[in-house]
Chains A and B, each alone.
Chain A
């Protein structure tokens, strides 16, 4: 009887195993989508996920990537690393093109798994800062920026406001950060900058997910820093702004990373958050042609993923950009490996490494003014380290600053050192020239 039940269970298991794959069809490019639509990070994760999905729908409506339609499947990670790993394992078997983990913690866990599975990781504006060094991190693509470039640009902006980098001497800058790898990543760069410019850096951690920040803001109140850098995500951002209001810390002196500069972060605080600044990796609004196209060809046909009002918001647009870069990487790979074919992860990796999106191409795609041109190479997996700073005026983001580029002089040696350490710790070797050429 017992044997029988075991046999039955086995039969059931094997039936499930057999049933699980067999979703992705031959002529479709499969994009696994790791998302979080629940939990404390959902307000920010949802528009991002919707942007990605809507862009896929738009590409499909326009005939796919040179005729190859895109298939996709979402998996809910809830921003948790173990769930993210499970989702990755679940979806990778279906022919994953690339993975955008949407979380730094998950990126860390997948960085070790991706090379074995030959799946590129696209971590636009997040992930491991050192992974911009493509010769050490073959499969990671922190396109458009990392936390180090972000922190560097914020310091540059503050210095400009003060009237020169030398004016930072003796100033006090506090970093209020999400106490996780995400929040801790910028610290080495800020320490380096503090050493060079002589400002005082104080580190104020906020326990994840960041709904309780009284003690952190008590520290801010006691230390009275000249500027506060906010490194938050999800509910932490709006809570921080509310606490700043309660503490009476001027919002004008607060600068958020690009993950702390979207509508969900300031909406609840509304007019009280007026003057709060944040990095802008991309623009927002419904003017760009691609957003108009999504509205016309996806939303008006009733196929929109999320509510129509959300289309064109900051994180939504970022989701669209991320998906566009993924699609462009596939296109680029097709140029080399055969137009109209389904690309493997390895081929898409080549596409990501050889992206050349100049202004003309961006204009043709409908992204004029949304982002700057990106061109990647074997050495440089970031492609562009430009960003701007904008300000919340109480009802919308505006007052865009000039473009800043992260200071190569500072970042390059740090990336190299950190990548060297990674390579040494993992007992790997850097890619040689032949690998780069391939």
Chain B
């Protein structure tokens, strides 16, 4: 009905190559941004901002980073938690060791350090592929766990190994209230999502996809595997590193290496797989599925007025959540993003979808 592209003619290549070639999509995204930046902070409660939306945004960002590596370049990684940890601890060190370091600069430098580590652990990808690579990146995970637990320098010699940050501000504006934190994360996510979207549509993004689909063929047509794979590792771990820094600085405030353990890596990989490999939109769906759904299931009995024991609610959460993962993977193995695009296709043909 409304979602039609009739009458929208592209007369230039530019118009044809837009991220959102259909007018309704542009309006939709614009409206979404207005809602996210203006309406949500106005109407949503503190709890939602702090405990649900901020972590959702940060993990979406991390999933975005991982999706570039796994979804676009086809390199399975189980080291996401490690790259997040590197980002967080590096940003922490910049923050506490250099007086007057601006917050944004610390976060981005944290991301840069993660890039370095990511490229380093990406080198084996030149020789090993698929599941074997996943095992190799697992090494990154264990290494990071070890390093941040054992090497006191990284934690500024904190006796307990837990680090914390306080008094954050961006250009003199303190980042303390839930709204400020949410808006900061949202800004990061929007900028990085735009960057990532453009990157995957560019020459380098196509190299990644060629690498993913068949690396031998890609090499034959002149794509350098070293360059393609390592750039994917670099970009991916940069975004993941920034997400890690945000997770520590903005969401937790005080953290220990356990915040970035192997479970985090798996969680992010599931997000990417369930959301949709090779889709920017999918990262948000995946993060929403993994972050919001367990919380909803957990609180559902309370909303319905049922009183069940905390342990049972917690077990139910795992069971229902597990069942839903299986259900969605059976219904749509290509992830929620594919469901979304199928839905859009059908809408365009509405009322006679086929």
**Which residues from chain A sit less than 8 Å from chain B, CB to CB?**
1-3, 6, 10, 13-14, 16-17, 19-21, 23, 35, 37-38, 42, 46, 49, 73-76, 78, 80-82, 85-86, 89-90, 92-93, 104-105, 108-109, 111-113, 116, 128, 179-181, 184-185, 187-188, 205, 207-208, 418, 425-428
Contacts and interface: CB of A to CB of B under 8 A. Distances in A.
A17 B253 contact: no
B161 interface: yes
16 contacts: A1-B347, A2-B28, A10-B35, A14-B43, A17-B43, A20-B47, A20-B303, A76-B313, A81-B252, A85-B251, A92-B47, A108-B160, A108-B162, A112-B254, A208-B258, A428-B166
Contacts of A49: 310
Contacts of A92: 47
Interface string B124-156: 000000000000000000000100011000000
Best-surrounded residue of B3, B28, B251, B254 (most CB of chain A within 10 A): B254
Nearest to A112: B253
Interface of B: 1-3, 24-25, 27-28, 31-32, 35, 39, 43-48, 50-52, 55, 96, 145, 149-150, 159-162, 164, 166-167, 176, 251-256, 258-259, 295, 298-299, 302-303, 309-311, 313-315, 347, 350
Given A1-B2, A108-B254, A185 B35 contact: no
Given A1-B1, A1-B3, A2-B3, A90 B47 contact: yes
A118 B46 CA distance: 15
Contacts of B302: 23, 73
A109 B252 contact: yes
A6 B35 contact: yes
Contacts of A42: 311
Nearest to B344: A2
A75 B213 CA distance: 45
B256 A81 contact: yes
Contacts of A3: 2, 27-28, 31
B259 A81 contact: yes
B159 A185 contact: yes
Contacts of A128: 160
A36 B54 CA distance: 24
A128 B256 CA distance: 14
Given A13-B44, A109-B252, A205-B149, A425 B96 contact: yes
Given A111-B164, A427-B166, 10 more contacts: A1-B347, A2-B3, A13-B48, A37-B309, A46-B311, A76-B298, A76-B311, A82-B259, A425-B96, A425-B166
B80 to A, nearest CB: 15
A6 B31 contact: yes
B167 A426 contact: yes
Given A17-B43, A17-B48, A181 B314 contact: no
Contacts of A13: 44, 48
A89 B50 contact: yes
Nearest to B48: A17
B181 to A, nearest CB: 11
A116 B176 contact: yes
A6 B46 CA distance: 21
